[in-house]
Structure 1
Amino acid sequence: MTPRMFSFVGGNTGRWRIVRNLSVSGMPLGEAARLDILPNTEIKPQLAMGWALRGLTSNERYVTREEKNHLLAVQPDLGRSEASCAALIPIRKNAAWWAMTQDERRSIFEERSHHNRIGMQYLPAIARRLHHCRDLSGNEPFDFLTWFEFAPEHEPDFDRLLAALRATEEWSYVDREIEIRLILD
């Protein structure tokens, strides 16, 4: 059985070394030297744990069947040997975003902001997995946790991807965003 729940734990231990922990907007996360990704629902107390974020993988939202099929055809798997760089981008959107209906959000997400089209330009170099937090509880600090993996030579592509997404109308609804860059060592 493939796990759907994941905990991203920042502290002094973990497989990934944190090289940047930047608050793009809103309150920052605490400092941490390393990150571990645990496929579980309960986080066991760990020595020197700085913070923990939980997310659940789910069905794709805001996509058409054609977009989903195209994504499945080109989206690489996580854990590729050459992908020694990663980024965790926790995001929270404001109340105005969540007050809209699904079709209104889809209109902003894709028809006007071209979120999927922008992301597709960077596949298969950059792999990603979206984790939903909002469905877990009202106490989660973020709505989404997006995990990206890429080879070191594709970091400039990842920078361009982030810049393009942050320049869209969709990003005007983001009230908290953290950018955590990591390397595997």
Structure 2
Amino acid sequence: MFTTFRGGQSGGWKVTSITRVKGETLPKVEALSVISSDAIALPLLPAQTSWRLAGVASHLRYTEKEEREKLIAVQAALGRSEATHAALIPIRKSAAWWELTQEERRKIFEDKSHHIADTLKFLPAIARQLFHARDLGMPFDFLTWFEFAPEHASLFDELVGVLRATEEWTFVEREVDIRVVREV
């Protein structure tokens, strides 16, 4: 199942900001559409879509069984009615990251950066899903999608601050932070 994020003039989410964190940004748009389907969703008309990013939810690649069980026990599902705020954060990591073995990446991901252990405290207030895009020819390796209630916006800012302060983040060469609110 593919998930396509389309930035354009209309969509279910109103874009409140697009911030370049590292590397090249994405063009400003008014809205974001999130479409899940068996194929990558193509734009209806080029004038309505400024950019399109697609990814696929996959198995957890750097997570051990005990960590997975802890995540499952506390994570919230996407689409909760109170989660009217969201963020799409596409990330591309450096060639140096991809030259590491899976085991070396795991050591940086959890043993040094504590990606899972340090972020469990933000769940279930913040629901999240990682989409892999590297093998789809996208300009980003990962598309991270987060949903949260308005009262948890500062908690979300704290979460991304924690992640950006890790050794793992030193391998990020491009990151864009797109904040949205659900259109009613």
Shorter-chain TM-score bucket reads: over 0.9
Who is 1:58 aligned against? 58
SS in 2 for 1:117: coil
Q: Within the alignment, does 1:25 sit opposite 2:27 as a pair?
A: no
Amino acid of the residue matched to residue 108 of structure 1? I
Q: CA deviation at 1:89?
A: 0.3
Aligned partner letter, 1:60 = L
1:170 matches 2:175? no
Q: CA RMSD in A?
A: 0.9
* Distance apart, 1:42 and its partner CA: 3.5
Which runs of 5 or more residues in structure 2 are unaligned?
none
Given the two structures, how large is their TM-score scaled by the length of structure 2? 0.95
Q: Give CA deviations for 1:43-96 in whole Å, capped at 9, x if unaligned.
A: 143342110001011001101001011111111110001000000000000000
User: Counterpart in 1 of 2:36?
Assistant: 39
CA distance in 2, matches of 1:27, 1:184: 26
In the TM superposition, structure 1's runs of 4+ consecutive aligned residues that sit over 6 Å from their partners are: none
**2: distance between equivalents of 1:63 and 1:75?**
14
Task: Give, as a single letter, the amino acid of the residue that structure 1 aligns with 2:170.
Answer: S
TM-score, normalised to structure 1, is 0.95
Deviation, structure 1 residue 99? 0.1
Q: Which residue of 1 aligns with 2:130?
A: 130
Where does the alignment leave 5 or more consecutive residues of structure 1 unmatched?
none
Would you say the 8 A contact 2:43–2:49 is kept in 1? no
Say which SS state the counterpart of residue 104 (structure 2) adopts. helix
Instruction: State the number of aligned residues.
Output: 180
